[in-house]
């Protein structure tokens, strides 16, 4: 088991009583029940985050495909081409050509 750290949690009285009842029914401590709940919550958050990431990637893929179908795909080296164009403009501007 991982190292346990003591934390203090403020609960409504009714929540505390319900947790105590659940712990007794399951033969566990309230701390065990809370650890399980926290673990489940964190796992669910990770799953939700992964799912959101997956949906975002799918949306970006869809946009990329739609844009490629509408405008085509640039096959050149965009950075090199922009750099060359910039250098040409600078040469013309400063009369270096």
Q: What is the pLDDT of residues 16-75, one digit of tens each?
A: 999 999 999 999 999 999 999 999 999 999 999 999 999 999 999 999 999 999 999 999
Is 28 a member of any domain?
yes
Structure tokens at 82: 């922009």
Helix axes 30-71, 13-26, angle to 10 degrees: 100
Sign, CA torsion 12/25/31/29: positive
Distance CA 81, CA 97 (A): 18
- Residue 27 domain boundaries: 13-94
The total of structural domains in the chain comes to 1
Residue 22 lies in a domain: yes
Asked if residue 6 is part of any domain, the answer here is no
Report if residue 57 sits inside a domain.
yes
Closest to 19 in 3D by CA, of 5, 33, 8: 33
Instruction: Report pLDDT digits (tens) over 71-95.
Output: 999 999 999 999 999 999 999 999 8
Considering the domain boundaries, does residue 36 fall inside one? yes
Name the pTM for this structure: 0.65
């Amino acid at each position: 088991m991982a190292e346990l750290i003591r934390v203090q949690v403020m609960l409504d009285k009714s929540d505390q009583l319900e947790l105590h009842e659940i712990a007794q029914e399951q033969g566990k401590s309230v701390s065990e029940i809370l650890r399980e709940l926290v673990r489940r919550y964190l796992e669910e958050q990770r799953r939700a985050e992964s799912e959101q990431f997956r949906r975002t990637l799918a949306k970006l893929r869809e946009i990329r495909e739609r844009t490629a179908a509408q405008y085509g795909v640039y096959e050149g080296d965009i950075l090199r081409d922009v750099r060359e164009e910039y250098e040409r403009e600078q040469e013309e501007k400063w009369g270096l050509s």
